[in-house]
Structure 1
Amino acid sequence: MDGLVRLLELAYSARSVSVVDVMRLGFEREVQEERGWFSFLHGWCVHVADRVAYLDAIIQELEFCSSDMFVAQLLVELRSGDGVVLADSIMYFKAIRDFETKKLANMQLFLDALAAHFGRRMQFLARFNAM
């Protein structure tokens, strides 16, 4: 029943009972939806890439402070055992960065697959627009 309701809604929106017009509208809607997902995912990839760059900067600063404790003492008050805290912090931020890097790689693969799928939908839409 859902399929029939969807078909009637498409026919009403297309203002036509022609199968070609209904299919064209259906493909146009699918393309719009895919375009929205593609844009959202691309924006999310940019966000994750920025996060990875931010984590890299934190790691570099922590490693610099860890290797030169005098600089670290100028920035903050160090107590005994703070060297261990710095080392743990570096490992923690590296683990987060590695996770975000893998997430970015997976999202990029998904974005590539979505782009290919989007291209196929655009081809179908072009066929119906040519009719």
Structure 2
Amino acid sequence: MDGLVRLLELAYSSGSVYISDVMHLGFQREVQEEQGWLSFLHGWCVYVDDRLAYLDAIIRELELCSNRTSVAQFLVELRSGDDVVFADAIMYFKAIHDFEAEKLANLHIFSQASVAHVARRRQFVARFSSV
């Protein structure tokens, strides 16, 4: 039923009785929706990339503190076993970093597939606009 309602809405919006005009409008809308999705996906990639840079900075600082006890003593009061705390913190942030890096790689793959999908939709729009 939803498909019929959408088809009737497209036919009304196109202002034409020709199916080629209705199909052209339908594909144009799909391209616009996909471009909005691509924009969102790009923004999400930028967010994850920024998060990776932030995690890299945290990991570097923790490694610096664990390698230089004088810096660590300045930042926090060291007690026996605090080296283990630094090692655990570094491992924790590296695990988060690896997860975020994998997420970013998957987002890039998904983005590439979405770009290809939009390109196919644009081809359909071009076919119906020439009819």
Same fold (TM over 0.5): yes
Query: What is aligned with 2:105?
Result: 105
TM-score, normalised with respect to structure 1: 0.96
Aligned pairs for 1:1-131 (under 5 A) are 1-131=1-131
> Deviations 1:31-64 (Å, cap 9, x if unpaired)?
0000011110011011101101110110011001
> Deviations 1:70-122 (Å, cap 9, x if unpaired)?
11111222222211111100000000000000000011100011111111111
Report the AA paired with residue 36 of structure 1.
Answer: G
Report the AA paired with residue 83 of structure 1.
Answer: D
Identity %: 70
**Structure 2 portions without partners, runs of 5+:** none
Q: Report deviation, 1:2.
A: 2.2
Distance 1:76 1:130 in 2: 71
Q: Report deviation, 1:30.
A: 0.2
**Structure 1 portions without partners, runs of 5+:** none
**What secondary structure does 1:97 align onto?**
helix
Distance 2:47 2:79 in 1: 36
Runs of 4+ off more than 4 Å: none
Distance 1:73 1:126 in 2: 67
TM-score, normalised with respect to structure 2: 0.96
